[in-house]
Amino acid sequence: MNHELTFAHHDVDSAKPVVDQLVAVYLEAHEDDGPFYSEDRYRRQLAAHMNVPGWSQVAASLGDEMIGYIYGFPLPRGTRWWEGLQTPVPDDFTHETGRRTFALSELLVRPTWRRRGIAKALHDELLNSRPEERATLLARPDNEPAQATYAKWGWQKVAELCPNWEHAPLFDVLLRPRTAPARNLL
């Protein structure tokens, strides 16, 4: 039996056979987080995101068990990602080219495997493989452990955003340049 932690990169085609595993990890990670984190909504989100050109995912597994994953995609021209911004930003901040910003959409680790460096390894594995000049993600302001972790990893809050999704909470918009963190990302 293989007990070594492995990382696998997936594009859309190679991820399709593991969608049920992705959903299972998501539901376990968000078990007590409310109606926004439902299976139906997540399956719709995942399907929509997987249709974005350049979608990429990295999964961490121990033997046959997926214990965590991360995925994202480059923001295309005309993206709706920035809709719902609650904070003023410079005019060109939301200008996307398909090569400017990588949107990190999910970083999940099963609760029993947290605090072992797996999230950081997934984060670095995916982002280090990306050519975009910056990355963005949305984090709940009340998720203090995630907020502290992202700050330690070089992410900075630049705005607040409330997506136009049913039961969507307010999120902090975090940004990180591809290289060392800049002092002012706006």
pLDDT tens digits, one per residue of 34-50: 777 788 888 998 999 99
Please tell me the distance from the alpha carbon of residue 121 to that of residue 70, in angstroms, as a whole number.
10
- Residue 55's contacts (CB-CB under 8 Å, 6 or more residues apart) are 11, 12, 49, 71, 72, 73
For residue 55, being part of any structural domain is answered with yes
Q: Does the pTM of the predicted model rise above 0.75?
A: yes
**Do 70 and 123 touch, CB atoms closer than 8 A?**
yes
pLDDT greater than 60 at residue 157: yes
pLDDT the model gives residue 38: 85
**Do 71 and 55 touch, CB atoms closer than 8 A?**
yes
For residue 182, being part of any structural domain is answered with no
**Do 120 and 153 touch, CB atoms closer than 8 A?**
yes
pLDDT tens digits, one per residue of 54-83: 999 999 998 888 999 999 999 999 999 999
pLDDT greater than 70 at residue 174: yes
pLDDT tens digits, one per residue of 95-145: 999 999 999 999 999 988 888 899 999 999 999 999 999 999 999 999 898
For residue 183, being part of any structural domain is answered with no
Q: What is the CATH number of the domain that holds 109?
A: 3.40.630.30
For residue 185, being part of any structural domain is answered with no
Please tell me the distance from the alpha carbon of residue 37 to that of residue 50, in angstroms, as a whole number.
18
For residue 93, being part of any structural domain is answered with yes
Domain ranges, residue 113: 5-177
For residue 186, being part of any structural domain is answered with no
Please tell me the distance from the alpha carbon of residue 38 to that of residue 63, in angstroms, as a whole number.
27
pLDDT greater than 80 at residue 167: no
pLDDT the model gives residue 34: 75
- Mean pLDDT, to the nearest integer, of 24-29? 90
pLDDT the model gives residue 1: 43
pLDDT the model gives residue 184: 46
Number of independent structural domains in the chain: 1
For residue 125, being part of any structural domain is answered with yes
pLDDT the model gives residue 35: 75
Please tell me the distance from the alpha carbon of residue 4 to that of residue 156, in angstroms, as a whole number.
33
- By three-state DSSP, how is residue 145 classified? helix
